[in-house]
Chains A and B, each alone.
Chain A
């Protein structure tokens, strides 16, 4: 039995150790905030944090995160008031909203590493996250806002 820690809680798994973390989170644990968009690390919809780093859960196996701290969108902030989440709401970023869990996790990881990213650094760090609705202008504005304190 593998044990993994997600949002501070331990979960056991005795199925396929190669199961992508994405499907373990969504189908086995029931944390559906993390989304599926491509399954090939091409879109960022499935982004979670593993030891504070943004990771694509669709190409990460459950066995890869043993003894690590996994944080999903549900665990980012207890009341959903992380500075990135607040900035997202102030800027009215989402259209359909489907990509936004991944965008927010990526942005939060960026700000942990670089609290005051430049325009170019934001565009670079966020370029793995697709938004088919095209909310990019607002995503960038929201990250600037979060970095300057909401």
Chain B
């Protein structure tokens, strides 16, 4: 069972515990069985005129919609808009400020974006994860922009002594058309700042048909020019006067400890200045550092060379026995036995018994490392009881809290400057590298940069979980699926927060297991126990990867077993257009979103399948050795279907000529960035399907760099990835984009390989399985 010893202290985990309660209440409400009590949302997250509700207000610190905080207008008319979420490649640093600019009628060419430091009391929640930014902030950002516009209009009306209804903000100025007078935003800035912030329910949002920027995809990311010139500032690019460079030797086994070290050779390396122990915390310890030996030098190269010369003795501890081969067998055996029932409709045992045919699929997916292109890195400058951090973090607010706690100083004394992130994918939601820098800077009394090498990154990651998935599907004599049992076994992320957690947390169950959308009379989902032996963490799309792989592979297997087209089988399983009733599930989680705004809508699920089949040429004839595969998955409350065309040559070499993906992410901001996220998701999906495997022997990660943990390169990339974005209905709430593209890719690929070769791959990575 889950033993969460001290949930209040575990911010990341607590966050999910909180959300889960709320969404359950919302679901009960949507089903008409709620009690009378409705929680009052915090004032800062009021959405009085909102057409839809989101879970934003229930995140730590909710949302803030004060234009004084987010918008500044200089006398020359330059509008500065704060970006309070982290940029890791999704385009959020551009798209959220763009929403504000749109609503306030600012001219984007006169807008500057400034990155906010970590301060959630001031800016609201800053955890850039869970594909939440647009879905939680589209409305608040519009409200901020609309407030700013109203204040500018009020200031102009006063200046001209006319009714505010006679004036209108248009393209960076306020116009009184009756008298043809106009005043620039810069001229009005000082007066507008004195206006009171209008009540949210009085705000008038722009009619979407008048949008100049939103939904158009014509605005490039704000950092584009800097990136192409090498001038964009990532975490690794921070340099301070007197700064020292550190690399750290960490215990090779999770939970291991330093016994002793000999630094005499390391100290002989030119440029090395000091070798010292750095404190570690016993496992599991959330995001606290692992400890070890730090080598301090005048540059990174010297620090790395110094570390190579270190002699260290470690005590590996209990996880020294962790072995991926044995562990796989354990997981697969657990998946063959009953486990904790987490969803139950009808009587699956009876239905399986009377089934005409039972198809069983056992699937295995190994650990994955994030390998963001920029390895973890952070700079800290600790002076007295104050600390300043510069780091590429997805969690600026959480980092601030954790630095304060680790150093034992008040949070107000900690400044976290958020740089650009050279990729994140969930790794940079964990701020251990910033904590390491803070500890060393405190100790040394100078600014310190801690640089992780690629080997550090691969060997000390918070890995994507490893899992065994087993599905039994029972068919009646007409080939209709009447029973579905899905067992999912994987070490849980909760194990990184508390010892003894062996069952999936609600947020993990809710990622493709209990939210399975098929219309089947007898459904049972089970979650047998699995103990963790390494740090498990969020990886882009999280548990959706193994669940979508299993469920959508099984659809392919069922199509084959009943001699039907994959797409037809898929649509039959999805069944009638309806809102899926999850009343049998204790805690449906639903990505923290209220179910009435974000239900599982099978009409939308069907629509992406039909759209991709239509536009992506499902059923087209393909050359010999080629095959088409399809998969669909709802995750992060978006709906995505993918068709992969694969080619397998006579030696078993695989290539991907074409990918087609349809996405329904509701109301969207920047279709061009959605397209780039989906293109990237195909690459990440192909990487994990073809190569992705982190394995353990004697408790140690067996891989270290891109030679033994390969990712897809340009010569293996799909020749073309086509993206079709479903036009949202009016007021369709926005939903996730960053993550949902990944889960359907691998099963679509595997179904395509089956179509091409007749070979069914059930364990990832594909590796050499196709080689002849």
Residues of A near any B CB (own CB < 8 A): 15-16, 19-20, 22-24, 26-28, 30-40, 42-43, 45, 72-74, 80, 85, 88-89, 92, 94-101, 104, 122-124, 126-140
CA gap between A42 and B305 in the complex, in Å: 19
In the bound complex, residues from chain B placing their C-beta under 8 Å from that of A20 are 301
From the candidates A24, A36, A45, A100, name the one contacting B227 in the complex (CB within 8 A).
Answer: A100
Given contacts A36-B236, A101-B230, contact A45 B301 (CB under 8 A): no
> In the bound complex, do residue A88 and residue B228 qualify as a contact, i.e. CB atoms below 8 Å apart?
yes
- Asked if B406 is at the interface (CB within 8 A of a chain A CB), the reply is no
Closest CB in chain A relative to B6 CB, distance in Å: 35
B289-336, CB < 8 A from A: 298-302, 304-305
Which 8 pairs show the lowest CB-CB distances between chains A and B? A33-B230, A134-B683, A98-B422, A73-B230, A96-B89, A23-B301, A95-B89, A134-B680
* Cβ-neighbour of B228 out of A30, A85, A96 (below 8 A): A85
Point out the residues of chain B lying under 8 angstroms from A95, CB to CB.
Answer: 89-91, 676-677, 680
Smallest beta-carbon distance B220→chain A, Å: 6
A137-B228 in contact given A19-B301, A36-B375 (Cβ < 8 Å): no
Q: Which of B417-438 contact A (CB under 8 A)?
A: 420-425
Q: Is B559 among interface residues, defined by CB-CB distance under 8 A?
A: no
**CA–CA, A89 and B229, complex, Å:** 11
Chain B's closest residue to A85 (CB) is B228
**Interface digits, B170-190 against A, CB 8 Å rule (1 contact, 0 not)?**
000000000000000000000
Residue in contact with B229 in the complex, picked from A33, A35, A124, A128, CB distance below 8 Å: A33
Inter-subunit contact B682/A134 (CB<8 Å): yes
**A42-B705, A100-B228 given as contacts; is B299 within 8 A of A27 (CB)?**
yes
How far is it, in angstroms, between the C-alpha of A124 and the C-alpha of B715 when the chains are bound? 6
Nearest Cβ distance between residue B443 and chain A, in whole angstroms? 21
Give the residues from 68 to 88 in chain B that come closer than 8 angstroms, CB to CB, to chain A.
87-88
**Cβ contact within 8 Å between A74 and B230:** yes
Of A19, A20, A122, A133, most buried by chain B (CB within 10 Å of CB) is: A133
Within the complex, which residue of B88, B374, B420, B717 is in contact with A137, where a contact is CB–CB below 8 Å?
B717
- Across the interface, B717 reaches (CB within 8 A) one of A24, A128, A136, namely A136
Interface centre among A28, A36, A96 (most CB of B within 10 A): A96
Known interface pairs A28-B299, A38-B705, A124-B715; A132-B372 also in contact (CB < 8 Å): yes
A112 nearest CB across to chain B (Å): 17
Q: Known: A35-B374, A126-B714, A132-B423. Is A19-B680 also a contact (CB below 8 A)?
A: no
Chain B 666-708: CB-based contact to A (< 8 A → 1; otherwise 0): 0000001000110111111000000000000000000001110
A24 to B300, CA, bound (A): 9
Q: Which of B334-380 contact A (CB under 8 A)?
A: 371-375
Contact B422 A96 (CB under 8 A): yes
In the complex, which range does the number of interface residues on chain B fall in? 35 or more
- CB-defined contacts of A24 to chain B, threshold 8 Å: 299, 301
Known: A134-B682, A134-B712. A39 touches B717 (CB 8 A): no
Query: B239: which of A30, A98, A126, A132 is its contact (CB, 8 Å)?
Result: A30
Mark each residue of chain B from 78 to 111: 1 if its CB lies under 8 Å from any CB of chain A, else 0.
Answer: 0000000001111100000000000000000000
User: From residue B715, how far is it (CB to closest CB) to chain A in Å?
Assistant: 4
Contacts of A130 in B (CB 8 A): 373, 706, 711, 713
What is the chain B residue whose CB lies nearest that of A123?
B715
B672 CB contacts on chain A under 8 angstroms: 92
Over the window 250-280 of chain B, the binary record of Cβ atoms lying under 8 Å from chain A Cβ atoms (1 yes, 0 no) is 0000000000000000000111000000000
B718 proximal to A (CB < 8 A):
yes
Cα(A142)–Cα(B711), bound, Å? 22
18 contacts between A and B (CB under 8 A): A16-B301, A19-B299, A26-B236, A32-B239, A42-B707, A72-B230, A80-B231, A88-B228, A89-B220, A94-B227, A96-B374, A96-B420, A97-B223, A127-B713, A131-B683, A133-B683, A134-B679, A134-B717
Closest Cβ neighbor of B237 among chain A residues: A32
- Nearest CB on A from B299, distance (A): 4
B373 touching A133, Cβ below 8 Å: yes
Contacts of B422 in A (CB 8 A): 35, 96-99
Whether the pair B232, A97 counts as a contact (CB closer than 8 A) is yes
B720 close to A (CB within 8 Å): yes
Majority DSSP secondary structure for residues of A touching B = loop
- Give the docked Cα–Cα distance between A123 and B229 (Å): 23
Q: Given A96-B372, A98-B374, list of 12 further CB < 8 A pairs?
A: A33-B230, A72-B230, A74-B231, A94-B228, A96-B89, A96-B420, A122-B714, A128-B713, A134-B682, A135-B676, A138-B679, A140-B714
- State whether the Cβ of B38 lies closer than 8 Å to any Cβ in chain A: no
Give the distance to chain B from A35, nearest Cβ to Cβ, in Å.
7
| Nearest neighbor of A43 in chain B, beta-carbon distance | B706
Residue of B nearest to A36 (CB): B236
Residue on A nearest B238 in the bound complex, by CB: A32
> Could you tell me the distance between the alpha carbons of A126 and B373 in the complex, rounded to whole angstroms?
16
B245 sits at the interface (CB 8 A): yes
> In the complex, are the beta carbons of A32 and B230 less than 8 A apart?
yes
Q: Which residues of A contact B87 (CB under 8 A)?
A: 96
- Known contacts A36-B300, A130-B373; A98 and B229 CB within 8 A of each other: no
Q: Is the CB of B299 within 8 A of A123?
A: no
Q: Give every chain B residue within 8 A of A85 (Cβ-Cβ).
A: 228-229
List residues of chain B with CB within 8 A of the CB of A43: 373, 454, 706
As a 0/1 sequence over residues 714 to 752 of chain B, the CB contacts with chain A under 8 angstroms (1 = contact) are 110110110000000000000000000000000000000
User: Which chain B positions have C-beta within 8 A of A34?
Assistant: 230
- Nearest chain A residue, comparing its CB with the CB of B425: A132
Complex Cα distance, B454 from A38, in Å, reads 5
A24 to B720, CA, bound (A): 39
- Are B227 and A37 touching (Cβ within 8 A)? no
Complex contact A97–B239 (CB within 8 A): no
Instruction: Tell whether, in the assembled complex, residue B718 and residue A137 are in contact, meaning their CB atoms are under 8 Å apart.
Output: yes
Interchain nearest-CB distance for A114 vs B (Å)? 16
Q: Is the CB of A132 within 8 A of B679?
A: no
Q: Which of A16, A80, A137 is the most central at the interface, judged by chain B CB atoms within 10 Å of its CB?
A: A137
Which A residue's beta carbon lies closest to that of B235? A98
Indicate if the CB atoms of A16 and B228 lie closer than 8 Å.
no
Interface residues of B in 497-530 (CB under 8 A from A): none
Give the distance in Å from the alpha carbon of A97 to the alpha carbon of B231 in the complex: 11
What residue of chain A has the Cβ atom nearest to residue B243's Cβ? A27
Q: Would you call B682 and A96 a contact (CB within 8 A)?
A: no
A41 to chain B, nearest CB (A): 10
Q: Which residues of A contact B679 (CB under 8 A)?
A: 134-135, 137-138
Q: How far apart sit A31 and B236, CA to CA, in the bound complex (Å)?
A: 12
Does B271 contact A97, Cβ atoms closer than 8 Å? no
> Which chain B residues lie closer than 8 Å to A35 at the CB level?
234, 236, 373-374, 422
Q: Measured between alpha carbons, how far is A27 from B373 in the docked complex, in Å?
A: 19
B373 touches A96 (CB 8 A): yes
C-alpha spacing A137/B714, complex, angstroms = 8
Contact between chains at A39 and B229 (CB < 8 Å):
no
Closest CB-CB distance, B428 to chain A, in whole Å?
11
**Please, which residue of chain A has its CB at the minimum distance from the CB of B304?**
A39
The residues of B that contact A32 with a CB separation of less than 8 Å are: 230, 236-237, 239
Q: Does B221 contact A (CB under 8 A)?
A: yes
Among B269, B371, B714, residue most surrounded by chain A Cβ atoms (within 10 Å): B714
Which B-chain residue is minimally distant from A16 (CB atoms)?
B270
Instruction: Check if B1 is an interface residue, CB within 8 A of chain A.
Output: no
Q: Are A38 and B706 in contact (CB under 8 A)?
A: yes
B301 to A80, Cβ gap below 8 A? no
User: What B residues does A80 contact at CB under 8 A?
Assistant: 225, 228-229, 231
A101 vs B90: C-alpha distance when bound (angstroms): 18
Residue of B whose beta carbon sits closest to that of A95? B89
In the complex, which residues of chain B have a beta carbon less than 8 angstroms from the beta carbon of A72? 230
Say whether B229 contacts A127, CB under 8 Å.
no
CB of B115 within 8 A of chain A? no
B199 CB-CB contact with A under 8 Å? no
* Residues A15 and B89 in contact, CB atoms below 8 Å apart: no
Contacts of A140 in B (CB 8 A): 714
Which of A92, A127, A132 makes the CB contact (< 8 A) with B711?
A: A132
Interface centre among A23, A28, A89, A98 (most CB of B within 10 A): A98
- Complex partner residue of A16 from B89, B271, B375, CB under 8 angstroms: B271
Question: CB within 8 Å of A: which of B629-672?
Answer: 672
